[in-house]
Structure 1
Amino acid sequence: MELQVMILDDEYIILDGLCSFPWSDYGYRISATARNGLEGLEKLDQAKPDLILTDVKMPGMDGLDFAEKAHEIYPNAVIVILTGYDSFAYAQKAISIGVEEYLLKPVDYDELKAMAARIAGEIHAKKEKQQEIRDLKKYFNRSVPQLRSKFAGNLLYGRIQGKGVVKEQAESLNLTIEKYIVCVGRKVVGENKIHTGDKWIEEFACINIFEEIFNDFGIHVLSDYNTATAEYNFILLFEKEEENAVCMEKALQACSKIQVEVERYLKAHMNFGLSDVEVDEYQANAQYRKAQTACRQCVYLGTNIILRYEDLQYEKQTDFVITSGEKTHFMMTLFQDSFEKAEDELHQMFRNAPEDVSPVKFAAMDLLLGCMKFPYICAVDSEIHNKNWNLSVLQDGIKRICQCENTEEVLNCLLNLFGTLIKQNTEGTDERNRKLVQSVLSYIEKNYSGDLSMDDLTEKFHVSRTYISRLLKKYAGKSFLEYLTDVRFQQVEKLIADNKYKQYEIAEMVGYKDFGYYIKVFKKRYGITPNEFRKHI
């Protein structure tokens, strides 16, 4: 695509000379010329310039004033000032208004050619980057419905790590969660069951219909379908000014309307469970469990039931759950960060623990089990799989947690257990690292003749380039490239001594596809050419 260049100069000879420059050789086309800034402004929209060359001293409006206004209208256009005045004041103002080049007249032809080529490359690179960003935005906008559904599922199932992350993800999806009710629905299918192969079509259609009905009642909604439980999950969003009773009434009416439509068109029934009205988006997982409890209770009451959690009359058991997001974040902090930070996170997770210690104990046992599994699951080709991982910590831990009488005792017990886990996990770390380095070196020695790279090592050993580099420096005293070069040239020396092969054959045999690069490395290493080296053997 041709780049548009606009040229301004009040001297006809200079203007004509600049127009005679072979702009097309560098991918440009002159889209407009002007004799002063005012004329330039009139032609600016028509020109749509990528590059502007303008003189400074011109009648009516000078080049700097024009450049300032042009920059406001076309901020991506590259502006080059042409002037016979080598003035620091001009340069200062030019920089302040976004001018990127400052050339003195008469302009050196070679300098102009170099500038034109360089700026063309920069403009094309910038345009490609801008196009990539536009494509990403377009893709993102197309994906927003799916991303919102994914966000709703992660929020309901407690997969998001931390309240700040919830707000950040919601903002990126242009969502505001001020007040909400979680709604869980389950279809009770009659005799006319839908064909299994068409089930996903029905689910998709139902979600769209349900969303439309909720919208008809002035309720914005985030939707998720749980295939494992065959439940439709909704986060019903309300303005924070709406009274809780009004929010609940709208939800009840919308659910009732959905029941009518499902019975009319699908010959089926829908049961719904509704949570309390909540304002803290991070409590969505707790509210989801409430809605799910109410929905599942409907099974004992009949069909086409709408049950609020607050309607349940039995004595509710105290519930205390650590979400999967919180657990994952804690385990990563414990094993990959510091014990002190993990201790702070543990106290944060249990800060709202109920007085009843029983659910706290169950949550603690679940967390302990997850922490026991975490190092084992994360280990790849590691000694941890080959040694006897001490599972008695789990057995002893459960016994000790059961004996605790309050949350504080549970936390102290967990901290002692996690200290034991950390010690067990870090024992022999130095030995494991040494073995990993030995495996890496052995792999290099076996595969030096191929097109070997750090990416091959990361794929083989499942650790990052940075980590491998750090270990090689620490335990082998060399970088990957240094060690690979040593191995290759050990073979080079042997092959030269054999006197059977030409140098280009030797280069290819040890992994150098570029013969010129092989010669360069050889001379740098030995200070002489391969042929001179052969003479000294």
Structure 2
Amino acid sequence: MKLKALLVDDEVHILNNLSKVLPWEDMGFEIVGLARNGVEALEAAVLHAPDLILCDIRMPVMDGLEFIEKARECKLNSEIILLTGYQEFEYARVGIKYGVKDYICKPINYFELEDVVRSIAAHIREAIRKQSKEEWLEQAAMLFNENYMLHALLGQMTDERMQWLPDEERGEQPSVDGMLLLDLEDYARCSLSWTPHERKTWNVHIKRLLTELFRELVPNCMVLQVREGEWCLVLHSAEWQSVTREQLAEMHTVLMNEVRETQPELSLRMCVKQESVPLRELPALYQRMQKLFILHSPDQWIVNANGLLPERNEIQAEDGMQGWRFTELMTNGLRNGNPDMLLRVSSELKHYIAHSVESSGAHAEKLLHYLLIHLLREMRELQMLAADQEKKVWALLQGTLSLKELLTVILAMLDQSRDSLAAKKSSETLMMTAQNYILQHLGKDFGIQDISDYLGISCSYFCLLFKNHFGETFVEYLTRQRIETAKTLLQSSSKSITSIGAVVGYQERRYFTKVFQKYTGMTPSEYRSRESTVS
């Protein structure tokens, strides 16, 4: 990697010597600019952001120290070597407060200067390497935490998974400080004409926007997405509990403006929980917040999930609750690949409608309309519905359908879902493919999204299938495979611990050692030593 150097001196012959006498190419530098005063130097520094600046002190227009001061004001963190006459030595010391790395007295000893530049270059490269490693670790930690919370939200937390919590938190009941669920009303219909790539890109864009907006309001928040058009914010800050409705209204306005720039027909709804919630209760809360969207009018942009709904209110909302029960049965049948459950939904739905036509036909019609949209959304997510078929259903919904016609469409789609499940790869086949993928990519950096895309299924569906098939989450399984492979290599090869860590997917030795120790109770070195003694 080439480093960038900027040379600054008002004496032309010194500037030429600096650029030609020193072996810049050999030292790994590219000279990005030559300047004869501080003004020229500042312009070049802002433009190129050099890693190293060699700068004279006494120059016309703007001297070296003023240039350095302004460079720091511009947030430039370049390393600086000052060139100074002997009589200016005390003057040069002022540069220390601006982070000057070293100084060279004139007349310049170029051998001495080369040694100084090489030393500083090594320092710069080490700083870059360290920063890159820290950024990589930060990114890895963020992805791990996001995956951890996604499993918690989907109800796939296990006691074994708790071992990866920090030591100081492991004995506690981990919790979050609240949750915010955002849902785009009518997303499934409005996104009908989008390609899969367009849908994915747009959803990722909204997720990033949510992250930026809410981190300004609450520093520690995480945005999760289980399905398209819906985002769940998990908050890890007590500040969230003091966020006002007015602040949320401002966020809602910003988000709606962004959404309606491209999708004017969509509307955004928020369901707010501003109370602490144990991690193990997140799945129930997530479902309850989805349920609250059903029980409240689509025109209501914010729904409060604090406290508990009184039982009498839930009884009064019988149609909403009945709709939620059918929703759960359909979702479980589709996502678990259970055609018998879908058959049960068809039977119970016909029975329910037959008994509700006379007493509450309008309520029944509203329920079927909601169930049909939910079914469309789920079948799209699980890739059970061709785009042209989905368009036909939405075209039907644009007209006026009778109760009987709505029921007929839903029953036909449930039948198609059962046929699709029969024709679809069995979960056994999918999981065997997933297992092979993991073994072939053990040393690479990949996650749930990568393997889900490879299998052609959604992330949430993959997580569900994986947990049901292997009895543990994807991350737990992947970690176990990596550590077991590492144990074998530690016993049977003379590779270094760093090399073995890299082979099984851990590029950073310190992180590999930490994971290995948590899994086995000893460091890789201790394990290798013990096994060599035994053998």
**TM-score after normalising by structure 1:** 0.37
Higher relative contact order (CA 8 A, sep 6+): 2
